[in-house]
């Protein structure tokens, strides 16, 4: 098959479009012929590397993918380990798939056998992996994944749109709905107007029936947020301390929920929350270390709720909404697989508005 891979960490120049042996599905796995992949910031971090990251070279990046089932390897019976006794039953037998079925891939890889996986909390798996991170990913013509990672797409549903939706909607749904318990009528502040998870969070907030305030940089990015249903826009290039704007807008009450995946903005986000409010975070695009004033956390009874990715059940729930048109990934540009280097360069420069995808 053709694939984009790298043998060493570095800049976009380490990516090579080349031949690579077709992967073979193991027991319980499907071979998927990919038609689309989508880029995530994680792809850049893995390519650049971090201390302790161990990859099996050559590494193929990419978490998101959609395509058709090319082969299926029957499952083996899994005996639950002794510590699973007493946990609520959780269906680990995947729905039946056939060759040629159109699918989108859930990149959150639980082992399927530990106590967390058996309890339906596969994103807390003891041997958790992410496709394209420590396992070879979707910048390729074929990929193998456990059959339970597949979600069936309706006939005619666009592969690019499906691939672009996977990771970001999965992550945002788990954070806002499963963990954050967002309720209709609540007010959500989203810090950042254009990132994949933020645009997904905005749509989910509106779908749930919440009021959405978006803080973003510049008119172009805020126009996208407005298009996606934001009720109030705050341009942070005009308003340095946007927590003051929130204070005014909410008549000194504060918002119920803040979605903050920047990190260094936590001090402002904590100020913006009402008493008993929740700060949701799935990442730190502004860097991992920063200071917060703990008095806000206990004095205002705040909860800081972190998560990464989501469960099999979250994926099924959110992709059903994507497939019936209730939620839709904002698409930026599509590049041919052979030009993945240009695609990553565009992501690295932050020029995109919505998801960058690869056509395979």
Of 15 and 114, which has the nearer Cβ to Zn ion? 114
Residue with tokens 């106590």: 115
**Residue 87: CB minimum distance to Zn ion, A:** 12
As separate numbers, helices (DSSP H) first and strands (DSSP E) second, the chain gives 10, 17
CB-based contact 243:268 (threshold 8 Å): yes
Q: What is the nearest approach in angstroms of Zn ion to the Cβ of residue 106?
A: 14
Closest distance of CB 81 from Zn ion, Å: 10
Report the C-alpha gap between 324 and 153 in whole angstroms.
Answer: 10
Give min distance, CB of 23 to Zn ion, in A.
Answer: 22
Nearer to Zn ion, 126 or 244 (CB): 126
**Which two structure tokens, joined as six digits, stand for 211?**
């009021």
Residue 170 and residue 201 in contact, taking contact as beta carbons nearer than 8 Å: no
User: How many Cα neighbours within 13 Å face the side chain of 337?
Assistant: 25
Query: Would you say 121 or 187 has its CB closer to Zn ion?
Result: 121
Q: Considering the complex, state which of residue 3 and residue 125 has its C-beta at the smaller distance from Zn ion.
A: 125
Quick one: which H or E segment has residue 152?
Answer: strand 150-152
Nearest-approach distance from CB 48 to Zn ion, in angstroms: 28
Least CB distance to Zn ion at residue 29 (A): 16
Task: Verify cis geometry, omega within 30 degrees of 0, for the bond prior to 149.
Answer: no
User: With respect to Zn ion, which residue has the nearer C-beta, 29 or 357?
Assistant: 29
- What's the Cα-to-Cα distance from 140 to each of 35, 173, 343, 348, rounded to whole Å? 9, 27, 14, 21
Between 117 and 330, CB nearer to Zn ion? 117
CB of 119 to Zn ion, least distance (A): 10
Rounded to whole angstroms, the Cα distance separating 360 from 345 reads 18
Q: Residue 127 or residue 351: which is nearer to Zn ion going by CB? A: 127
Residue 82 near residue 97, CB atoms below 8 Å: no
CB-nearer residue toward Zn ion: 1 or 124: 124
Pairing of strands 129-130, 102-105: unpaired
Least gap, CB of 121 to Zn ion (angstroms): 9
Which among 245, 254, 260 has a CA at the least distance from the CA of 296?
A: 254
Task: Give me the residues that bind Zn ion (CB under 5 A), please.
Answer: 110-111, 114, 117, 125
* Cβ–Cβ < 8 Å for 165, 151: no
């Amino acid at each position: 098959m053709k694939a984009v891979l790298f043998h060493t960490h570095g800049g976009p120049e380490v990516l090579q479009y080349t031949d690579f042996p077709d992967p073979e599905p193991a027991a319980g796995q499907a071979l998927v012929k990919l038609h689309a992949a989508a880029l995530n910031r994680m792809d850049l971090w893995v390519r650049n590397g971090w201390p302790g990251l161990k990859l099996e070279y050559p590494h193929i990046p990419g978490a998101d993918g959609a395509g058709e089932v090319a082969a299926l390897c029957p499952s083996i019976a899994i005996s639950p380990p002794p510590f699973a006794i007493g946990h609520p039953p959780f269906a680990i037998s995947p729905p039946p798939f056939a060759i040629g079925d159109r699918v989108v891939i859930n990149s959150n890889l639980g082992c399927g056998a530990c106590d967390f996986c058996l309890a339906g909390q596969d994103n807390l798996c003891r041997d958790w992996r992410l496709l394209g991170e420590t396992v070879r990913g979707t910048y390729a013509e074929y990929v193998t994944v456990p059959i339970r990672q597949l979600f069936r797409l309706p006939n005619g549903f666009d592969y690019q749109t499906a691939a672009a939706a996977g990771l970001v909607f999965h992550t945002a749904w788990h954070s806002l709905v499963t963990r954050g318990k967002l309720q209709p009528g609540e007010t959500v502040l989203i810090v950042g107007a254009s990132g994949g998870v933020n645009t997904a969070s905005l749509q989910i907030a509106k779908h749930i029936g919440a009021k959405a305030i978006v803080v973003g940089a510049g008119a172009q990015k805020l126009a996208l947020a407005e298009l996606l249903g934001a009720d109030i826009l705050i341009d942070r290039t005009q308003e340095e301390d946007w927590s003051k704007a929130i204070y005014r807008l909410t008549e000194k009450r504060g918002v119920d929920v803040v979605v903050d995946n920047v990190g260094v903005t936590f001090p402002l986000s904590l100020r913006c929350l009402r008493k008993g409010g929740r700060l949701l975070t799935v990442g730190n695009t502004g860097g991992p270390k920063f200071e917060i004033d703990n008095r806000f956390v206990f004095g205002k009874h705040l909860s800081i709720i972190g998560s990464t990715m989501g469960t099999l059940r979250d994926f099924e729930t959110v992709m059903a909404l994507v497939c019936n048109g209730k939620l839709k990934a904002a698409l930026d540009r599509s590049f041919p697989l052979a030009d993945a280097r240009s695609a990553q360069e565009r992501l690295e420069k932050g020029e995109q508005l919505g998801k960058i995808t690869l056509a395979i």
